[in-house]
Amino acid sequence: MVSRSLPEAPRPYDLLPEVPAGDSLRPYDLRCEHLGTPLGVGAPVPRLSWRLASDRRGDAQEAYRIRVHARGALVWDSGWVEGQDVSADYGGAPLASFTRYTWRVETRPGEAAESWFETGVLHRDEWVAAWIGHDPETEPPFEPPTDDREPRSARTASLPAPRYFRRVLDLPPATAVRIACSARGLYELRVNGVRAGDGELTPGWTDYRHRVPYQVYDVTNLAGDGPVCVGAILADGWWSGSLGWDARQQAQRYGRRPQLLVQIVAEHENGSRTVVGTDGRWRESTGPLRYADLLMGEWYDARLEQPGWDLPGFGDTSWAPAGVVDTAHDVLVPSVAEPVRVTQDLVPVDVRRPGDGRTIVDLGQNIAGRVRLVLRGAPEGARVTLRHGEALDDDGGLYTANLRSAEATDHYVAAGAAVETFEPRFTVHGFRYVEVSGHADVEVLGRVLHSDTPVAGEFSCSDDMVRRLMGNIRWSQRGNFVSVPTDCPQRDERLGWTADAQVFLPTACYNADVAAFFTGWLADLRCAQTAEGAVPDVVPHVMTERHGTPGWGDAATVVPWHLYRVYGDERVLRDSLPSMRRWVDHVERHNPGLIWRDRTGSHYGDWLQAGVRTSREVMATAYFALSAELTSKAAAVVGDAAARAHYAELRSRIGEAFVRAFVSADGRVTGGTQTGYLLALAHGLVPAPLVPAAVGHLVADLEERGRRLTTGFAGVGLLGPVLSAHGHHDLAYSLLHDDRYPSWGYSIKRGATTIWERWDGWTEEGGFGPVAMNSFNHYALGSVGAWLYSGVAGIGQEEGSAGFRRPIIRPLPGGRLRWASAAYETPLGRLAGRWEVDGGTLRLDVRVPPGALATVHVPTTDPASVRESGTPLSGEAAGGALVCRVASGRYAFTAAWER
Ligand code: BGC
């Protein structure tokens, strides 16, 4: 039986927290490096930030003052800083390692709020811990008991047993105990019999060649007085387990065996510290975990448990000394993002027993995660098998063909107790259905796992299908943000495909605060860039031969620029500008004629487009232009005038080359596909006089196809924004509401609970799509989500605004919708809009955060009819709306709306 603490009552995951109410200005949601109250901060000059709330109209911060204390002493007082900044870089005395800094921000006018952060290891020479692992010299290799019913398939035969490590320490009485822990592999840390922290799949996945993250835990309460037992379980994970589609042996790109590193820092009453690290005095053994693999699953034999192994009194004489395998600390980096956590539990919606001993459980939702299994009355040695799948086949059995070589199967061998509980810890599956065999009296709970990025946005509307679409998008985001942004959570892939990440990023940012999550991923992108400047197709980089792909490599420019726009943190551009430049220079070097023809790497085109072939050169060159433009803009923000001018000039020459090569005098774009037009229009590559004609050709293509889309990954997110920007709201809504193939509604009509990888994941004619590539949980086609927020509900920010300083509220009443609403937690505070059409009246409720100056477009058929809280409003009539500017606060507009 795995002893794990019981899950807390499920918390509603998708809800935005309430903003503090009241008529005075209040800072709230204080953060350090974009995280709440982080332990183990490694930045020498961390950035502190806060949001603001006030119910008073026009409220804005005039000045702020930050004071930071450590060990009772003031270490930094910013003094009063005039202005509206809602972030500041720590400016006090150099930070000390493993120290709690309490900080307080006060605003004028307004109040004060307090928070804290703690540092980790700030100087490399402070590490004393060595990397330890199983030492094959000191112990004969583990021989599992022979049992011909052992659940070892050809694929799992090579999986070694995870190792258990322990050491008992006699620490002098301590006032605070912290543990910094990392693994090349996956670890679970335990202190005196209790798991430390609630992070899963720690330390997470990064480019281990360059960066291995460590986490810090506050274990003061677990350590108590007296001897402290520190234990850890160590498994292969991304380091040495199956990865991508390679068989395990080839997949081991980082190392053959996992390694563990633990450093304990105990602080005593008089301020002195005891620091102890992993070394050859630790002991190791195998245990009930017979194997654990992210793709294959886990095998746990409860008969092999060693009760008390993680407690001080345990007799470990039969355990072997651990081997010291490395003493280098140069790759250790502080963990910069929220960990993966279990964020929700799902009670099955259906349990069927077909009568052959199997139980088929339906969680009602496709997730990334695992199950908790409760067994009653299983005899000793009974083997229970859990298989996972995203769908059922025609006979009601589990459909697993699309998992390819991922077995996604867990095994539990019972100890024979009346009630036993099993929950795997070092694997994750993408599934909705679970098949349990080997014992009938079972209960299953679904456990949802993903990077616990805070919820940042809410969208809703009057249409069930559109609401479900946003629900599916959010679930695909949760299912694929598992330490890194992946393409899919179920099959033997689960890689950080760069195009998937960049096309989905705008949607991701609306749904969740992904600032910290993508900061780490970008660090991996930068260190994986080739000497030439090519960006790999997947980050972390694991497929050495694939890089330099149009639309994929451009994540190097699109991601930092978008993060800057959303979060207003210019450091991401400072860190990324060299990499952005190297990418653009690389493409230019290979394409001196400025049309991206050269196959510098792979080319996937408009991936998974429906029935058309967008010109690859059009797509590639449009991305080249975009990347040059974003690099120029980034250089401007960073203050590099020469680079700004250089890339602006390059962008304009690419634009000219694009027009010469691909845009004809009647506004046609080579290839004539929707994605071709969308890319050209969205990225300003059609000369202004030809824009109406180009839009006309795009619209004609859609109309000729009976208002059906043909877009793949590169084009799909642009449909809504481009059509609505050019006045074709009706067409945009037709696509949104469509449920014929290919459309979002098509999958929803078939019961999809996540976004499918392909438009034809399942069809009436063909049933399941090609098994070689048919994930039911892939977010790229869900990149329409950003338009639901910024188009349909209408909350966004102006071009040129960063960090939502200048928000726009420009709703788009139309389609089948009677109302739509969105709320978003900007860096300044809450921005929200809700419109509703009732009879001949449109009502628009708006909320603007303190310090922002918002442009509101009140949609109306009669600009003279517009009122705000009953008072007539003046403004400029434009594009079917009355446009006005409002400062912070809540506003209630009404306007005539005749359709
Ligand atoms: C992945 C994608 C990825 C693509 C590139 C697929 O196998 O699942 O999402 O972008 O390959 O071709």
**Mean pLDDT confidence for 518-536:** 96
Given a cut of 60, is residue 11 above it in pLDDT? no
Given a cut of 60, is residue 1 above it in pLDDT? no
Dist. CA 707 → ligand 1 center (Å): 27
Strands, DSSP E only, in 749-898? 762-763, 767-768, 795-797, 807-809, 819-825, 830-838, 841-848, 854-859, 867-868, 871-872, 876-878, 881-886, 889-896
- Residue 455 pLDDT class (50, 70, 90 cuts): very high
* Ligand 1 within 6 A of CB of 492: no
Dist. CA 487 → ligand 1 center (Å): 7
Question: Is 532 considered catalytic here?
Answer: no
Residues 62-73 pLDDT 10s: 999 999 999 999
Closest C-alpha among 204, 229, 232, 49 to residue 134: 232
Sign of CA dihedral 550, 552, 555, 558: positive
pTM for the complete prediction?
A: 0.97
Dist. CA 780 → ligand 1 center (Å): 10
Question: Is the model more confident about 262 or about 137?
Answer: 262
Nearest residue CA, atom 3 of ligand 1? 497
pLDDT at 12: 67
Report the atom number in ligand 1 closest to the C-alpha of 602. 12
- Residue 545 pLDDT class (50, 70, 90 cuts): confident
pLDDT above 90 covers what percent of the chain?
91
Q: Which of 493, 588, 629, 836 is catalytic?
A: 493
**Mean pLDDT confidence for 625-638:** 98
* Ligand 1 within 6 A of CB of 606: no
* Ligand 1 within 6 A of CB of 493: yes
Question: Is 493 considered catalytic here?
Answer: yes
Closest C-alpha among 686, 666, 673 to residue 622: 686
Given a cut of 70, is residue 862 above it in pLDDT? yes
Nearest residue CA, atom 12 of ligand 1? 604
* Ligand 1 within 6 A of CB of 741: no
Closest C-alpha among 217, 218, 222 to residue 203: 217
- Residue 3 pLDDT class (50, 70, 90 cuts): very low
Lowest mean pLDDT among 78-92, 234-248, 525-539, 819-833: 234-248
Q: For residue 794, give both structure tokens.
A: 């209408």
**Whole-number average pLDDT of the chain:** 95
Distances (CA, A) of 172 to 223, 228, 486, 829: 11, 10, 45, 46
Q: How far apart are CA 542 and CA 495, in angstroms?
A: 9
> Looking only at Cα atoms, what is the longest distance across the chain?
87
Residues 676-724 pLDDT 10s: 999 999 999 999 999 999 999 999 999 999 999 999 999 999 999 999 9
Given a cut of 70, is residue 249 above it in pLDDT? no
Residues 411-452 pLDDT 10s: 999 999 999 999 999 999 999 999 999 999 999 999 999 999
Lowest mean pLDDT among 152-166, 306-320, 403-417: 152-166
Closest C-alpha among 278, 299, 281, 282 to residue 290: 299
Closest C-alpha among 104, 112, 110 to residue 54: 110
Dist. CA 608 → ligand 1 center (Å): 9
